[in-house]
Structures are given as structure tokens and as C-alpha cells.
Amino acid sequence: MTRPTRFFDEEAGGETGAAVTTGRTLTSAARCPNCGEEPFAQLFEIWSPREFMLDTCCEYMLEVANEFLAEDPKAAAKWLNEEGLGEICGQRVGLADAFGRGARRVIEDGCGSLVIDWHLDLTPISQAAAKEFIRTHHRHANKPPAGWRFGAGVMNGSDLVAVVMVGRPVARMLDDGATVEVNRLCTRPDIPQGLVWNACSQLYAWSAKEARRRGYRRCVTYTLEEERGTSLKAAGWAVEATSGGGSWNRPSRRRGNEGPQGRKLRWAAPGMGTRTSPDGRQRLLWAESPSPGNGT
Ligand SMILES: [Zn+2]
């Protein structure tokens, strides 16, 4: 028996006879090489938020379909979105038709199952809900910040997978009324990390846009030096200053050493003002440094 390497191979049905189907239809003339019936595979059921089960002509076809879905996450999503639900009134129907929202990819959930990684959606979030999320999920600074101005969440299907809290700058020197700070950005650590892919850069980009929309002139955030800042860079943010590190605590404004210490980078959102120290050495004054990193 020849096993097609791709589920929907345009060339299938040719020499091998192992055609599952063509990319356009599941009712090609080719027979399933295993059961001899019309080759058939489509979504049978989806459970919220992301599990699914396929219906196939036979066990062999189920294996073939699973291989196809596992092999190319984007091609798998395209199939689910455009034709995964089979044929209705002569039209191929997929997730995008049925739910108005499609899959980004199909990913492995870490336990051997394939699950749907939906396209991310930004969602409004209350301060209370954002705080609760951070209390539950933040890696190293789970005390939510005060000084809320605005925030948002990111949904992957019906799961809230990330939140951002934007508030007053923690450093008093920056707190000029025209500046806001991304105080916390937090993703779910307890789900397959593929599901939060790109969520941070979307939230950083949104925060900058929302700050501009609300009339703020600057939007900043901090990371620990050892954090790579990949999602900030992806959102167009740039480092404007580095701190020398130092304790979070000082007598005039006691806070307790909640956040990690060490050198920090201050980032500024694109298209807005930046500020460096007067001597141009791009070092933060000590008074500006103590915001905990945002854990991204
Ligand atoms: Zn079959």
C-alpha cells in the first residue's frame, strides 16, 4: 500500500492510486487505498476551546489525516478553515464559515494531541479581571500594579491567554501626566506556548496605539536585561535607556523587594517621544529604575 505523504495532494490520484483527494474536493474518483470507499475525512466534532475529532472513511484514513495535520501547521489550518467541515449544498465549508473565525495553526498540545490554535482576538478587559489574571499567572511579579489607565486581553478561541495593564509610570520622574507605562504584560504559562505566540507583540502594539489615541505623548515599559525583548522589537519599540540596577526599595518610598533586581532596559513605543538622561549616556537615574520587568 502506498501511503500519500500529504493529505490533500493535488497530484494525488495519479500513478500511486493512493489518492486521498484533490485540494478542492473530497469526492474525487479515487478510491481509498485501504477501504476502497470514497476517501473521506472531515471534522466530526469540536470541543471548546480547541479539541477536535475527525470523521474518516477508515482507520487508515484517520492516520493519514492526522499525519497531514501534524506535518504542516499552516496547511492544516487552511484545510480546517476552508473545507474541514465537509460539503454543504455543494460548497466546501470550514471553520471560518461556521465560526466567523479561523484557525492560525494546528499544534501539538504537549500530550500527543493535535489542537486548534485559533487566530488571536484582542478583547477589552476590566482592571479587576486583569489583576486576577496576573495574580494567577505572572512568573516573577504577581502583585498587580496600581495606577491603571487602560488594558486589554488576548483571546485564543474562548481562552484568555494574555493581558496587558497600562498605567502611570512607576518612576516619579517620568510621571508627567503625558506618559503611560506598560506596567505588566503577562501570558498564560499553563497552556501550550504555541497558543500565546505573537500575543505579546500584539499587546505592545495595541498599548502604544491606544496611548496615542488617548492623547498620551509617551508610552514606555521595562524589561530585565536578560529578557530578549523579542515581542517589543516585533512591535517596533526601541530601548531608550538602561538602568544600573539597584534595589527596589528606598527610605522615602518603601515598596518592598517584590520584583527582581538587576539591570533593566527602558523601552519607548514607536511614533511617540523618547527621553534619555541629560548627559546623553542613556542611563536611567536611580530614581527611574525600579519598575519590575514585565516578564516577556
Ligand atoms: Zn478509507
CA of 168 to the centre of ligand 1 (A): 61
pLDDT tens digit sequence for 154-212: 999 999 999 999 999 988 889 999 999 999 999 999 999 999 999 999 999 999 999 99
Q: Are residues 271 and 136 in the same domain?
A: yes
CA of 261 to the centre of ligand 1 (A): 60
Q: How far apart are CA 119 and CA 104, in angstroms?
A: 5
Taking 50 as the threshold, does the pLDDT of residue 256 lie above it? no
Minimum mean pLDDT range among 20-24, 52-56, 235-239, 251-255: 20-24
CA of 233 to the centre of ligand 1 (A): 48
Q: Are residues 89 and 144 in the same domain?
A: no
CA of 37 to the centre of ligand 1 (A): 6
Confidence of residue 234 (pLDDT cuts 50, 70, 90): very high
Q: Are residues 186 and 90 in the same domain?
A: no
Percent of the chain with pLDDT over 70: 76
CA of 18 to the centre of ligand 1 (A): 10
Q: Is residue 292 part of a domain?
A: no
CA of 61 to the centre of ligand 1 (A): 5
Q: Are residues 74 and 88 in the same domain?
A: yes
Domain end position, chosen among 75, 97, 118: 118
Cell of 280: 546623553
Q: Are residues 232 and 256 in the same domain?
A: yes
Q: Are residues 82 and 128 in the same domain?
A: no
Ligand 1 ion: residues within 5 Å (CB): 32, 34-35, 57-58, 61
CA of 31 to the centre of ligand 1 (A): 8
Q: Are residues 178 and 109 in the same domain?
A: no
Q: Are residues 276 and 169 in the same domain?
A: yes
CB 1 within 8 A of CB 34: yes
Q: Are residues 96 and 144 in the same domain?
A: no
Which single residue is written with the C-alpha cell 540596577?
Answer: 245
Q: Are residues 124 and 111 in the same domain?
A: no
Q: Is residue 135 part of a domain?
A: yes
Q: How far apart are CA 223 and CA 232, in angstroms?
A: 10
CA of 20 to the centre of ligand 1 (A): 9
Q: Are residues 258 and 280 in the same domain?
A: yes
Q: Is residue 103 part of a domain?
A: yes
Share in percent of the chain as helix, strand, coil (round to 5):
25, 25, 50
CA of 34 to the centre of ligand 1 (A): 5
CA of 196 to the centre of ligand 1 (A): 36
Domain extent, residue 207, equals 120-284
Domain end position, chosen among 118, 137, 157: 118
Q: Are residues 252 and 164 in the same domain?
A: yes
Minimum mean pLDDT range among 64-78, 139-153, 188-202: 139-153
Q: Is residue 291 part of a domain?
A: no
Taking 80 as the threshold, does the pLDDT of residue 247 lie above it? no
Predicted local confidence at residue 31, as pLDDT: 83
Predicted local confidence at residue 143, as pLDDT: 76
**Residue 184 CB: number of other CB atoms within 10 A?**
28
